[in-house]
């Protein structure tokens, strides 16, 4: 379990990997990967119990990236967590690599393929139900997008999770407020998410999805209420960490030019300078 300071440093490293992968591969879902990096960092380096050397351990906590397009962040996290060597990240985007543009089971640490939206919460509910039936203490974490909330299957799963009292299920919405064709509230308004999930029988909390103190406090207190599934609405910034990408829907899957890549690295360097103890803070 890393300290808050350490999580911040890790986030910088992960975002550097993400932007490097997307720049090198000339493909990726830049904005949504960056908005979810801090949530993933808090999960994998603070909240979740797992041993990367035993990825099939039946007692491990499970994570499902229901918004499968944010895959670059997940790959960088899994590599750093030790599921596979970081050097393999450079394969991303190359012909024949197992590092597809959406997660598959061929990547160590991935629990279920994703990419078609609206699937992850049902699969997570099934895993959490298995834990309940087997009296196993593992928890299941599912990360969804806010645009993804328009998928009807999400609400089938939300109903079932409450029906079965799955307090070992933790869903997080990366609420970055933008989707591919514009602001979520204009494309298909999903607000108010907290009230919606509460009315479905969930305990719901809103946090700043880039504040590790808030994220870790929420994860540490799970289950918040016995017998109720947990929903974290994480308010995030699409393109987080890069001034020219932040809150800009055009960066949903735009890839940076050489100039933009250099600028991104400089911005990360500046952010890292705020944490002088960062190892290799300069790119």
Binding window for another protein (CB under 8 A); candidates: 7-15, 111-119, 207-215, 238-246 = 111-119
**Residue 26 or 133: which CB sits closer to another protein?**
133
Q: What is the CA radius of gyration of the chain?
A: 18
Does 162 interact with another protein (rule: CB under 8 A)? no
Residues in the chain: 283
Q: Distance between CA 76 and CA 57 in Å, rounded?
A: 22
Does 111 interact with another protein (rule: CB under 8 A)? yes
On whether the CB atoms of residues 14 and 38 are closer than 8 A, the answer is: no
- CB 52 to another protein: min, Å: 18
Residue from 2, 156, 206, 208 binding another protein (CB under 8 A): 156
Binding window for another protein (CB under 8 A); candidates: 24-32, 112-120, 213-221, 253-261 = 112-120
Q: Distance between CA 256 and CA 27 in Å, rounded?
A: 9
**Residue 164 or 224: which CB sits closer to another protein?**
164
Q: Distance between CA 58 and CA 84 in Å, rounded?
A: 19
Residue from 14, 40, 79, 121 binding another protein (CB under 8 A): 121
> Which x/- pattern, by CB under 8 A, does the window 30-59 give for another protein?
----------------------------x-
Q: Which residue has the tokens 């196993």?
A: 136
Residue from 27, 104, 247, 248 binding another protein (CB under 8 A): 104
Footprint on residues 259-278 left by another protein (CB under 8 A): none
Q: Which three-class secondary structure state does DSSP give residue 271? A: helix
Read off φ and ψ for residue 84, nearest 5 degrees: -155, 160
- For residue 192, whether the previous peptide bond is cis, meaning omega lies within 30 degrees of 0, is yes
Task: List CB contacts of 2: < 8 A, sequence separation 6 or more.
Answer: 10, 45, 46
Count the neighbouring beta carbons within 10 Å of the beta carbon of residue 1: 11
- CB 100 to another protein: min, Å: 11
Alpha helices, DSSP H, located in 164-249: 184-188, 193-199, 212-220
Binding window for another protein (CB under 8 A); candidates: 38-46, 131-139, 207-215, 265-273 = 131-139
Footprint on residues 192-211 left by another protein (CB under 8 A): none
Which of 62, 76, 278 has its CA nearest to residue 170?
62
Binding window for another protein (CB under 8 A); candidates: 20-28, 74-82, 132-140, 249-257 = 132-140
Does 133 interact with another protein (rule: CB under 8 A)? yes
Which chain residues interact with another protein by CB under 8 A? 58, 62, 104-105, 111-116, 118-119, 121-131, 133-134, 140, 152-153, 156-157, 159-160, 163
């Amino acid at each position: 379990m890393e300290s808050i300071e350490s999580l911040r440093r890790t986030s910088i490293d992960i975002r550097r990997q993400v932007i490097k992968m997307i720049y090198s591969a000339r493909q990726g879902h830049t904005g949504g990967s960056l908005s979810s990096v801090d949530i993933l960092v808090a999960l994998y380096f603070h909240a979740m119990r797992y041993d990367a050397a035993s990825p099939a351990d039946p007692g491990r906590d499970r994570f499902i990236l229901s918004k499968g397009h944010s895959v670059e962040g997940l790959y960088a996290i899994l590599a750093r967590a030790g599921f596979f060597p970081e050097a393999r990240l450079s394969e991303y985007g190359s012909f024949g690599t197992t590092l597809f543009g959406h997660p598959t089971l061929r990547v160590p640490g991935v629990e279920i393929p994703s990419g078609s939206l609206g699937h992850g919460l049902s699969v997570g509910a099934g895993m959490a139900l298995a834990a309940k039936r087997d009296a196993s203490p593992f928890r299941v974490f599912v990360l969804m997008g806010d645009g993804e909330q328009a998928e009807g299957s999400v609400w089938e799963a939300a109903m079932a999770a409450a029906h079965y009292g799955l307090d070992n299920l933790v869903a997080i919405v990366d609420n970055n407020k933008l989707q591919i064709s514009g602001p979520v509230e204009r494309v298909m308004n999903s607000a108010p998410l907290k009230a919606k999930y509460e009315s479905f029988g969930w305990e719901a909390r809103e946090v700043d999805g880039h504040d590790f103190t808030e994220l870790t406090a929420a994860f540490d207190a799970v289950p918040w209420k016995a017998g109720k599934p947990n929903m974290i609405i994480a308010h995030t910034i699409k393109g987080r960490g890069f001034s020219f990408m932040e809150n800009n829907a055009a960066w949903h899957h735009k890839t940076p030019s050489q100039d933009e890549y250099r600028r991104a690295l400089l911005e990360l360097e500046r952010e890292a300078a705020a944490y002088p103890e960062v190892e290799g803070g300069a790119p």
